[in-house]
Amino acid sequence: MRRALIAGNWKMNLDRAEAVALAAAIAERSGAAQEVDLAVFPPSVYLDAVRDAVRGSRLAYGAQNMCHQPNGAFTGEISAAMLVDLGCRYVILGHSERRHILGETNAEVNQKTIAALAAGLVPIVCVGELLAEREAGRTGEVIRQQFDGSLAGLSAEQTARLVIAYEPVWAIGTGKVATPQQAEAVHMDLRKILKDRYNATIADGVRILYGGSVKASNAAELLTQPNVDGALVGGASLKADEFLGIAAGVSRK
Ligand code: PGA
């Protein structure tokens, strides 16, 4: 039985006071969603403030990115150990904005995933096709390449500890959500890839989130798909009511 995870990616938004207020508002009401894991991903400079704001609640938090190296001369970077030090449980890796705007490669996502797991973080590894790739019928192939590249060399034990997020790039921040059938088809493919590479136990256990224009009004129909185990939410995670409304969609399963 996979426990649903609703993850809020705040991206490069909010100031410190707004981040604290949002985290506190979600934390305060997080007790209502007992059967769902909840996590928020503020800008890294606000992680300490968010830690204080959610203390004592069941709201977890994590970072939007990290460095693949443990320490050293990597100006501007943040290590996995630093995130652990701040109380992070999760880290988002290979988000499409990092892949397509900042040029992150599968090989880099792979190194980061290995480093995050070694530090005890739960990586949320993102994959997803561009609109042109979907229209060319290449969705399966692209997802497969990203999966193989980003998760190269991982043992079954390592893979069992991570989360995968399917985020079609054409659905991110566009208001154009994938249909439940489109999402479910890719999630099923990903689970089959997991089964072929490892075994049925790993495939059944790994959580696969959907991301791309999820909001409270469309969450329930996505989250009731058998292979959709939660959501990675951008824009709608910046409002406590919307975010918690998405989590409420899980209990209707
Ligand atoms: P969105 O972003 O919900 O604003 O489409 C999703 C994401 O980037 O994770």
pLDDT value of position 154: 98
Q: How many CA atoms lie within 13 A of 117 on its CB side?
A: 20
Domains in the chain, CATH or no CATH each: 5-248 (3.20.20.70)
**Does the C-beta of 7 come closer than 6 Å to ligand 1?**
no
pLDDT value of position 249: 86
pLDDT value of position 34: 84
pLDDT value of position 151: 98
pLDDT value of position 250: 87
Rounded to whole angstroms, the Cα distance separating 125 from 163 reads 6
Q: How far is CA 133 from CA 41, 129, 168, in A?
A: 28, 6, 10
- Ligand 1 atom nearest the C-alpha of 174 is 5
Distance 55 CA to ligand 1 centre (A): 26
**Does the C-beta of 234 come closer than 6 Å to ligand 1?**
yes
What residues act catalytically? Answer: 95, 167
Question: Can you tell me which residue has the tokens 């692209």?
Answer: 142
- Ligand 1 atom nearest the C-alpha of 175 is 5
Residues linked to residue 140 through DSSP beta bridges, in sequence order: none
**Does the C-beta of 233 come closer than 6 Å to ligand 1?**
yes
- Axis crossing angle, helix 16-29 with helix 240-251, rounded to the nearest 10: 30
Q: Quick one: which H or E segment has residue 111?
A: helix 106-119
**Does the C-beta of 230 come closer than 6 Å to ligand 1?**
no
| Averaged pLDDT in 10-residue chunks for the chain of 253 residues | 95 98 97 90 98 97 98 98 98 97 97 98 98 97 98 98 97 94 98 98 98 96 96 98 94 54
